[in-house]
């Protein structure tokens, strides 16, 4: 049983106001933090794809542990975000919340872990906790992981260690057995947008200046607000937007048998360059076709390609389900042929013939 829910929150799931999505996970952590006998372990592995909010969660969890209002039922939330400790962690100037990372190298090396091992036995400066956040923990060398084992086994009572990793399969079993894994889920497109705008409000102006490109990037980021923000800031955004336009055109042409010739030209035009480019474009076609298939079955299905549901529904209505499934199969087969290094042009011809475009 937990003690209380801060006044500013209606329910446990509103704890961690900065974490978007991942409701179950936040509820679980909140329950542990607010229980009569807080039962947090000494360490967690936070696993999730690039840009899904692992570091944000690590910082929010750190704040919740050191927040001066953590036992105050009248607090606006947990963490409150307003007390000195919360503010210092946010600004990165809290001496007792220590971040470790690759420092621009390919991996987190053993030296960084040895530094941690020495430092962890020095009492906290300012707080009653000392928290270590190891970024890119999946890149730790085997030597670094082995060096961390003993510390994970018996850290000082005030210490708390968070290992942030994209893939826990890269961690030694002995590390995983000493720290429970928290998995961050990819966000829905709506939540991706919300998380992006919360972490960087200046993106609002980019959204206003080119809403279509903004939507394209969000739909391409597979639920990762960090990746979406990266895409939006680089040249990559224009390439993705182009690829998506090409995929929508593919669907429009494929829906109309009289447009066979145009479809043939379109596919060979957008897929002829390097094999990797062709493969990526075919995968983008597949994602669009997948949405159209889902819409045949459920008009509220979550979409991963089309940001305009009405437009996608119209497009889906112009196909039979059978035809969409046929196209989806042909696309999958073509992608797998390219993965096997088959000739790009021959693969495309065989794909178009499979969907009846060459007769
Ligand atoms: Zn606070």
C-alpha–C-alpha distance, residues 93 and 117, integer Å: 21
Cα(209) to centroid(ligand 1), Å: 36
> Which pair of structure tokens corresponds to residue 243?
């690829």
Residues 335-345: tens digit of each pLDDT = 999 999 999 98
Please give the CATH number for the structural domain made up of 12-183. Answer: 3.40.50.300
Averaged pLDDT for residues 115-119: 95
Cα(327) to centroid(ligand 1), Å: 54
Question: What is the pLDDT at residue 48?
Answer: 95
Q: What is the mean pLDDT of the chain?
A: 90
Question: What is the pLDDT at residue 339?
Answer: 92
Cα(159) to centroid(ligand 1), Å: 19
98's CB contacts (< 8 A; 6+ apart) are: 116, 119, 130, 131, 132, 133
CATH 1.20.272 boundaries in the chain: 235-354
Cα(127) to centroid(ligand 1), Å: 12
Cα(35) to centroid(ligand 1), Å: 18
CB 231 within 8 A of CB 237: yes
Averaged pLDDT for residues 89-103: 92
Question: What is the pLDDT at residue 278?
Answer: 92
Question: Is pLDDT of 142 > 70?
Answer: yes
The listed range with the strongest mean pLDDT (124-128, 190-194, 211-215) is 190-194
Cα(86) to centroid(ligand 1), Å: 4
Question: What is the pLDDT at residue 31?
Answer: 83
pLDDT band at 213 (very low <50, low <70, confident <90, very high): confident
Question: What is the pLDDT at residue 40?
Answer: 82
Cα(58) to centroid(ligand 1), Å: 15
pLDDT band at 139 (very low <50, low <70, confident <90, very high): very high
Cα(269) to centroid(ligand 1), Å: 57
- DSSP structure string for 120-143: TTSPPSSSS-EEEEETTGGG--HH
pLDDT band at 8 (very low <50, low <70, confident <90, very high): low
Question: What is the pLDDT at residue 103?
Answer: 84
Question: What is the pLDDT at residue 136?
Answer: 95
Cα(29) to centroid(ligand 1), Å: 17
C-alpha–C-alpha distance, residues 229 and 264, integer Å: 35
> Which pair of structure tokens corresponds to residue 92?
């990165």
Question: What is the pLDDT at residue 252?
Answer: 95
Residues 155-204: tens digit of each pLDDT = 999 999 999 999 999 999 999 999 999 999 999 999 999 999 988 898 89
Question: What is the pLDDT at residue 72?
Answer: 84
Question: What is the pLDDT at residue 70?
Answer: 85
Q: Which residues, chain by chain, have CB under 5 Å from ion ligand 1?
A: 67, 69, 79-80, 83, 86
Question: What is the pLDDT at residue 231?
Answer: 87
Averaged pLDDT for residues 226-247: 87
Residues 249-300: tens digit of each pLDDT = 999 999 988 888 899 899 988 987 788 889 999 999 999 999 999 999 999 9
Cα(264) to centroid(ligand 1), Å: 61
pLDDT band at 17 (very low <50, low <70, confident <90, very high): confident
Q: Is 29 exposed, middle or buried (0-12, 13-18, 19+ CB in 10 A)?
A: buried
Residues 35-59: tens digit of each pLDDT = 766 678 899 999 999 999 999 999 9
Cα(83) to centroid(ligand 1), Å: 4
CATH 3.40.50.300 boundaries in the chain: 12-183
Question: What is the pLDDT at residue 149?
Answer: 95
Question: What is the pLDDT at residue 38?
Answer: 65
Question: What is the pLDDT at residue 12?
Answer: 66
Strand, helix or coil for residue 98: strand
**Angle of the 309-317 helix axis to the 275-297 helix axis, nearest 10:** 80
Question: What is the pLDDT at residue 288?
Answer: 96
Cα(82) to centroid(ligand 1), Å: 5
Averaged pLDDT for residues 140-160: 94
Percent of the chain with pLDDT over 70: 95
Please give the CATH number for the structural domain made up of 235-354. Answer: 1.20.272
């Amino acid at each position: 049983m937990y003690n209380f829910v801060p006044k500013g929150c209606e329910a446990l799931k509103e704890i961690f106001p900065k974490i978007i999505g991942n409701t179950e996970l936040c509820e679980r952590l909140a329950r542990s933090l607010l229980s009569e006998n807080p039962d947090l372990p000494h360490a967690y592995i936070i696993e999730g794809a690039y840009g899904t909010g692992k570091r944000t969660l690590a910082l929010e969890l750190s704040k919740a542990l050191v927040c001066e209002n953590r036992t105050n039922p009248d607090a606006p939330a947990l963490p409150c975000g307003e007390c000195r400790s919360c503010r210092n962690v946010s600004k990165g100037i809290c001496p007792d919340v220590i971040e470790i990372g690759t420092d621009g190298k390919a991996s987190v090396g053993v030296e960084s872990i040895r530094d941690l091992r020495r430092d962890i036995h020095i009492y906290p400066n300012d707080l009653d906790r000392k928290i270590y956040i190891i970024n890119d923990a999946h890149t730790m060398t085997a030597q670094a992981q082995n060096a961390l084992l003993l510390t994970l086994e018996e850290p000082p009572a005030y210490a708390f260690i968070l290992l942030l990793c994209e893939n826990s399969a890269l961690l030694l079993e002995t590390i995983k057995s000493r720290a429970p894994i928290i998995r961050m889920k990819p966000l829905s497109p709506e939540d991706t947008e919300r998380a992006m705008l919360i972490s960087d409000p200046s993106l609002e102006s980019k959204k206003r200046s080119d809403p279509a490109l903004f939507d394209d990037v969000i739909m391409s980021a597979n639920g990762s607000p960090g990746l979406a923000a990266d895409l939006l800031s680089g040249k990559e955004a224009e390439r993705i937007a182009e690829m998506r336009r090409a995929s929508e055109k593919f669907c429009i042409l494929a829906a109309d048998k009289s447009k066979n010739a145009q479809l043939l030209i379109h596919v060979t035009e957008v897929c002829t360059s390097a094999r990797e480019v062709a493969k990526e474009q075919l995968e983008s076609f597949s994602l669009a076709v997948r949405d159209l298939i889902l819409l045949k079955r459920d008009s509220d299905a979550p979409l991963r390609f089309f940001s305009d549901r009405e437009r996608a529904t119209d497009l889906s209505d112009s196909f039979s389900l059978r035809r969409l499934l046929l196209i989806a199969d042909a696309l999958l087969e073509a992608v797998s042929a390219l993965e096997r290094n088959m000739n790009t042009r021959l693969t495309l011809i065989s794909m178009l013939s499979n969907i009846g475009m060459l007769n």
